[in-house]
Chain A
Amino acid sequence: MKNRITDLRAERDWTQADLAQRISVSRQTIIAIEKGKFDPSLPVAFRIAKVFGLAIEEVFLDEQ
C-alpha cells in the first residue's frame, strides 16, 4: 500500500526514529512501511494518521 509518510515526516522535520517513538513501534517498522514493504495493522495506521493530524485515507492511498 502506498503512503505519504515520508513527505509528511519531512514537512514536520521528524526522523524515522521520532515517528517510531510517537506511535510505539520500531524504527524498522517505519522504514518498511515507508518503502511499502509492510502494511501496518489498522491500529498502527490510525496512530500514524493521528500523530500527523490527518484522516487515515489522507496518509494511506488505495492503489486499486
Chain B
Amino acid sequence: MTGDYRESTKATIRLVLWTLAWTATLASAKFGPELLWGSRQPVASWAAVAVNLAIGVGWIVAFTRFLQRIDELQRKVMQEALAISLGAGWVGGFAYVVADAAGLITFDVNTAVLPALLGVVFVIAFAAGMIRYR
C-alpha cells in the first residue's frame, strides 16, 4: 500500500466517524427534548444544538481534509457532485421562494426536506460520476 493510499484511507475513516458523530448529535438535538430531558429544559436543548453545531464544524474540517487527500479523479468526481448539489439547492430553493411568493405553493414544505434532497442529489451525482469514469 502506498503512503498516499493510507492517508486517503485515514481521511475517509475520520470523515465517516465525524459523520456518525454529527448524525448522533443531530438526533440528540432533535429527539432529546421529547424523549430524554423534556421540553421544559431549554438549557439542555440549547446545549444539544451547540454540541451539534460544534461537531458540524469538525465535520466540515474533516470533509475539507478528506477532499485534499483523496485521489485526483475521486476529487474531480466529488467536486462535480458537490457543484450539482449546490446548483440544485440554489435553483430549486429560489424557484420555491419565487413560487411561494407568487402564491403558487398551497402546501407547507418542511425545511428539513431541502438538506435531505441535497443529500439524495449528491449521492446520485457522485454515483453517476463514478460510473462515467469507469
Q: Does B40 contact A (CB under 8 A)?
A: no
CB of B132 within 8 A of CB of A29, answer no
CB contacts under 8 Å to A, within B1-36, are 1-5
Q: Does B133 contact A (CB under 8 A)?
A: yes
Contact check, B72 vs A44: say whether CB atoms are below 8 A apart.
Answer: yes
Q: Are B134 and A41 in contact (CB under 8 A)?
A: no
- A-B contacts counted at CB < 8 A amount to 38
Q: How far is the CA of A25 from the CA of B72 in the complex (A)?
A: 8
Q: Is B76 an interface residue (CB 8 A)?
A: yes
Minimum CB distance partner of B6 in chain A? A24
A38 and B74 form a contact (CB under 8 A):
no
Number of residues on chain A facing chain B (CB within 8 A): 13
The interface on chain B, measured as residues whose beta carbon lies within 8 A of the other chain's beta carbons, has a size of 14
Please indicate the chain B residues that have their CB under 8 angstroms from the CB of A41 in the complex. 72
Whether A25 and B3, one on each chain, are in contact in the complex, defined by CB atoms closer than 8 angstroms, is: no
Which residues of chain A are near B73, meaning CB under 8 Å?
25-26, 28-29, 32, 38
Interface presence of B71 (CB below 8 A): yes
Closest residue to B72 on the A side, CB-wise? Answer: A41
CA distance in complex: A41, B3 (Å)? 19
- A25 and B4 alpha carbons, distance in the complex (Å): 8
A21 within 8 A of partner (CB): yes
Cβ of B2 and Cβ of A21 under 8 Å apart? yes
Q: Could you list which residues of chain A lie within 8 angstroms of chain B, going by C-beta atoms? A: 21, 24-26, 28-29, 31-32, 37-38, 40-41, 44
A-B contact pairs, 11 of them (CB 8 A): A21-B1, A21-B2, A24-B5, A25-B4, A26-B5, A26-B73, A29-B72, A29-B73, A29-B74, A32-B133, A32-B134
